[in-house]
Amino acid sequence: MSEYSPDEGGGPQVRTLYGRRKGKKLRQHQAELVSGTLPDLAVDCAAPIKDPRALFAHAPNELRMEIGFGGAEHLVYEAARHPHIGYLGCEPFVNGVAKLLVQIEEKGLHNIRMHQGDAREVLLRLPTAALARVDVLYPDPWPKWRQRKRRFLSVENIAEIARVVQPGGEFRFATDIDDYAGWVLARVLKSQSWQWREAQADGRPWQKSWPDWPGTRYEAKAFREGRPPVYLTFVRTSA
C-alpha cells in the first residue's frame, strides 16, 4: 500500500495503492537485477520530470507509457518492435518488475524505463502533452461494489492521463470484465478531452484486438474461461 501526502503547488495528492506488492520469492538472478539494475532504469519521482526524453540514453522519437505491465509481455514486444520509441512502464508488483528486468537483459533493450509503484506518482511528475500513448491493459477490476473506489481508472486519473497525452495521441484500455469496460467508457465520455474512436465505426470493433496486439497470457486465460475482452481506443482531442 502506497500513500501520498499533499504538497503545495499542485503536487501529489493523498491516494492509496491497493493490492499485493510481492508474490513468490524472487530467484537469485531476479533479486540481483532488482537490487543492481533497477536503480539505473528507475524513474525518479522525487521532483518534476521536466524532460522525460532525457531519461533515455538515445533521443526517442516519441514516448509511450504502460500502466500495470504485469508479466511485461506487451511492453517488451512493443519496445523490441520500436527501438526508437521510449517506453515508461509502471508496475507495483515486484515480481512483474523482476520479469521485465530479465527480459530487458536477455533482449538487450535500451528503450524502457520503469517505476515500481503507483503510476500516478509518474503521471503527476510528467509535463503536459509529454506522451504519444498510454496503455492500461487488464487492470485489477476490483469487482465488488465496495471495492470500486480502488479502481485505478477514476475520473481523477483519467483526467491526469489526458493531461500528459498530446493532442492526437491515444489512450488504450483492455479488460475482460464488462462492468469495468462500462465504468471506463462512461467516465471517459464525460470528458471533453477524449474521442472514442470505435464509436464512429460499423459493427462492434471494440471486440477485436488492435492490429499490432501480441496477446498476453492473461488474455488467453480470459478466453478459456469464457470472458471475451473489450478493447477501447480513445483519441486525445485539442480541447
Distance CA 89, CA 28 (A): 23
Distance CA 138, CA 68 (A): 8
Active site residue 51: no
Residue in 191, 185, 230 with CA at minimum distance from that of residue 207: 230
Q: Residue 35 has which C-alpha cell?
A: 537490487
Q: Which of 44, 118, 135, 140 is catalytic?
A: 140
What 3-state DSSP class applies to 113? strand
Q: What is the DSSP string of 74-111?
A: HHHHHHHH-TTEEEEEE-S-HHHHHHHHHHHHHHT--S
Q: Is 108 left (phi over 0), alpha (psi -120 to 50) or beta?
A: left
Active-site residues, by number, are: 140
